[in-house]
């Protein structure tokens, strides 16, 4: 019996997980490794932090789905792949899992390089499930009189997080604490000028301070120092800077891209080990580096499913075509958002309404399995 092993039940594995029974009915054994029983949908993560959604609204019941389809769920972190012996090592035990075909969707993580103390009031934008803890801490601290909250980062995740922290505070207390966004010197770097200006206007309108005097140099004991040596105090600190692919591959003797992601060809197949496939934030797509956005992970679903089946059956593989520009909607809290596609950009309540509609449709499609 051939073994298919999946590492991570992330956004690129949604179709494979929902069709797991098609592998089982052909006589393959399927094992899914994930550290949590649920996988959280990042697109709705900031909304959960802001209190628009509950944790149950934004997560997929991976364990329940896998077991209902006849697969085996292993609650663990894959710590290393041995591509020569075709084994996956787990962090929690000495047990190893052997595979004939392996698919990796282990995502990415925030590099905590400036924060020297990782106390209970320090959070990162990923993993998404930790945003529940962050929300609880903020609510608790607000009643204890917290006076300042800081978000470090200037990209999409940072602006969504800061906007939703404001929403959360506004719901809890009459006078929200000082909320600052430390975005280095380039607010929303690489984004169209109109998008930057719409997001900036919305955030400033909420009273959020945008600090652009330089990058954060260090954070020690709740004190944030920026490059020009100005310091700011913060009771709660979020790091929402860029993400890096899972460190799993650098430890595994497989070919990796510049950021350490699994290097894959146009078939989403490892360039060094043809039995290994991958999708989402954890890969480096050789043909064209892809933005670390869920959109690409979602687009990879069908091809990944088809190629895993083809690899088991000895059939030809399908090419992944990343597709053109994608729709981006920033949820900035208080029911407002900014939409951007091609050269179009606008803001307002209708934008958040649209995002909520699209996100709920996506999650309902896979939650109902
Ligand atoms: C706050 C925030 C908001 C965002 N909003 C959007 C948005 O609106 N639209 C958009 O397109 N993108 C958005 N992104 C980007 C998006 O999060 C990522 O591109 C997306 O999560 C990538 O999906 P993934 O499945 O590859 O990784 P992940 O979502 O990180 O999923 C990886 C899965 O693998 C599991 N896993 C991790 N390591 C291991 C291991 N070693 N062994 C086994 N399992 C493992 C994890 O538990 C997780 O379930 C947002 C990001 C953040 C931080």
pLDDT in tens, 284-305: 999 999 999 999 999 999 999 9
238 close to 276: Cβ distance less than 8 angstroms: no
pLDDT in tens, 241-268: 989 999 999 999 999 999 999 999 999 9
pLDDT in tens, 2-46: 999 999 999 999 999 999 999 999 999 999 999 999 999 999 999
259 close to 284: Cβ distance less than 8 angstroms: yes
Measured in Å, residue 44 CA sits from the centre of ligand 1 at 11
Measured in Å, residue 312 CA sits from the centre of ligand 1 at 26
**Phi, psi values for residue 253, rounded to 5°:** 70, 30
Q: Which atom of ligand 1 is nearest to the CA of 129?
A: 47
pLDDT in tens, 194-249: 999 999 999 999 999 999 989 999 999 899 999 999 999 999 999 999 899 999 99
H helices of the chain, in order, are 14-18, 20-24, 45-49, 62-68, 130-143, 156-172, 193-205, 294-313, 349-367
Residues 6+ apart with CB under 8 A from 70: 20, 21, 24, 30
Measured in Å, residue 11 CA sits from the centre of ligand 1 at 7
Query: Which tokens in the block code for residue 255?
Result: 């070919």
Same topology for domains 3-109+243-313 and 112-241, yes or no? yes
At 56 the pLDDT is 95
At 153 the pLDDT is 96
* Topology (CATH level 3) of domain 112-241: FAD/NAD(P)-binding domain (3.50.50)
Q: Whose CA is nearest to atom 30 of ligand 1?
A: 107
Stretch (H or E) spanning 264:
strand 262-264
Residue 266, burial from CB neighbour count under 10 angstroms (0-12, 13-18, 19+): middle
pTM of the entire predicted model: 0.96
Q: Which atom of ligand 1 is nearest to the CA of 41?
A: 29
At 305 the pLDDT is 98
At 172 the pLDDT is 93
pLDDT in tens, 114-127: 888 767 799 999 99
Measured in Å, residue 320 CA sits from the centre of ligand 1 at 20
Nearest CA to 331 out of 207, 199, 237, 204 is that of: 199
pLDDT in tens, 89-146: 999 999 999 999 999 999 999 988 888 876 779 999 999 999 999 999 999 999 998 8
Bridge partners (DSSP) listed for residue 243: 110
Query: DSSP per residue over 94-157, as a string?
Result: S-EEE-SEEEE---EEE---SBS---TTEEES-STTHHHHHHHHHHHHHHTT--EEEEE--SHH
In this structure, whether the domain defined by 3-109+243-313 belongs to CATH 3.40.50.300 is answered with: no
Q: State which of 10, 181, 250 you would mutate to test the pocket of ligand 1, scoring each by most atoms of that ligand within 8 A of its C-beta.
A: 10
Which residues approach ligand 1 with their CB closer than 6 A? 7-12, 33-36, 39, 42-43, 45-46, 77-78, 105-108, 125-126, 157, 160-161, 246, 248, 280-282, 292-295, 297
At 221 the pLDDT is 86
Q: What whole-number distance in Å separates Cα of residue 17 and Cα of residue 265?
A: 22
Percent of the chain with pLDDT over 90: 92
Q: Which atom of ligand 1 is nearest to the CA of 13?
A: 25
Query: Which tokens in the block code for residue 81?
Result: 């792949």
**Phi, psi values for residue 24, rounded to 5°:** -60, -40
At 118 the pLDDT is 65
Residue 368: which pLDDT band, with cuts at 50, 70 and 90?
low
Q: Which atom of ligand 1 is nearest to the CA of 331?
A: 8
312 close to 277: Cβ distance less than 8 angstroms: no
Residue 84: which pLDDT band, with cuts at 50, 70 and 90?
very high
Query: Which tokens in the block code for residue 124?
Result: 């990162």
Domain boundaries in the chain? Answer: 3-109+243-313, 112-241
At 114 the pLDDT is 83
């Amino acid at each position: 019996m051939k073994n298919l092993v999946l590492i991570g039940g992330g956004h690129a594995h949604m179709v494979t997980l929902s069709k797991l029974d098609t592998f089982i009915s052909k006589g393959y054994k399927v094992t899914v490794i994930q550290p949590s029983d649920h996988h959280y949908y990042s697109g709705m993560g900031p909304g959960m932090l802001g209190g628009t959604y509950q944790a149950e609204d934004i997560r997929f019941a991976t364990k329940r789905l896998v077991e209902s389809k006849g697969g085996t769920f292993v609650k663990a972190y894959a710590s290393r792949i041995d591509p020569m012996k075709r084994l996956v090592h787990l962090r929690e035990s000495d047990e190893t899992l052997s595979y004939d075909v392996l698919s990796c969707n282990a995502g990415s993580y925030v590099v905590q390089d400036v924060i020297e103390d990782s106390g209970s009031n320090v959070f990162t934008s990923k993993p998404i499930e930790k945003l529940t803890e962050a929300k609880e801490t903020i609510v608790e601290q607000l009643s204890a009189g917290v006076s300042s909250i800081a978000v470090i980062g200037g990209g999409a995740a940072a602006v969504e997080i800061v906007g939703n922290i404001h929403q959360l505070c506004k719901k809890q207390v009459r006078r929200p604490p000082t909320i600052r966004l430390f975005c280095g010197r380039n607010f929303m770097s690489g984004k169209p000028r109109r998008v930057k200006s719409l997001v900036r206007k919305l955030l400033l309108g909420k009273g959020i301070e945008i600090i652009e005097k330089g990058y954060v140099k260090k954070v020690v004991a709740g004190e944030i120092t920026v490059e020009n040596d100005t310091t700011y105090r913060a009771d709660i600190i979020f790091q929402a800077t860029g993400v890096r692919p899972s460190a799993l591959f650098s430890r595994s003797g497989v070919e990796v891209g510049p950021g350490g992601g699994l290097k894959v060809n146009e078939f989403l197949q490892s360039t060094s080990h043809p039995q290994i496939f991958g999708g989402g934030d954890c890969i480096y797509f050789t043909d064209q580096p892809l933005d670390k956005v869920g959109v690409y992970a979602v687009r990879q679903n069908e091809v990944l499913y088809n190629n895993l089946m083809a690899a088991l059956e000895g059939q030809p593989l399908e090419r992944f075509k990343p597709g053109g520009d994608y729709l981006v909607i920033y949820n900035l809290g208080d029911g407002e958002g900014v939409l951007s596609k091609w050269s179009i950009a606008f803001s307002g309540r209708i934008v958040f309404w649209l995002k909520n509609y699209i996100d709920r449709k996506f999650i309902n499609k896979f939650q109902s399995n």
